[in-house]
Amino acid sequence: MSEAELLTRIAAILNGNPDLALRGPVATLAMETRFREELGLDSVALMALAFELMELAPALDERTIVQWKTAGDCVRAVTAALAARPP
């Protein structure tokens, strides 16, 4: 899955979950988009995002969430989890 596809998937998850309390709808998401400062996500919202992404990448380690400052951090974590899954 490409970076662009993952960014689109993450934006869809964020827009589709009203419990995340975004500052507004996410039209586009860039690798450098900051989760807390720009989107208003807190640690609970990041955990909810991670659980949704675990459906796509079950090997995703939720302990890495504390390191997710940007959408790019999230994309890299999901990409690593996808690479770690058995063929």
Asked if residues 68 and 47 have their Cβ atoms less than 8 Å apart, the reply is no
Q: What is the pLDDT of residue 87?
A: 64
Q: Phi and psi for 70 in degrees, rounded to 5?
A: -125, 170
Q: What pLDDT band is residue 1 in, cutting at 50, 70 and 90?
A: confident
Q: What domains are there in the chain, each with its CATH number?
A: 3-84 (1.10.1200.10)
- When the pLDDT of each residue in the chain is averaged and rounded to a whole number, the result is 89
Whether 22 contacts 41, CB under 8 Å:
yes
How does pLDDT run across 57-69, given as a tens digit for each residue? 999 987 888 899 9
For residue 2, count CB atoms less than 10 angstroms from its CB and return exposed for 0-12, middle for 13-18, buried for 19 or more: exposed
pTM of the model: 0.88
Give the orientation angle of helix 43-56 with respect to helix 3-16, to 10 degrees: 120
pLDDT, one tens digit per residue, over 74-87 is 999 999 999 987 66
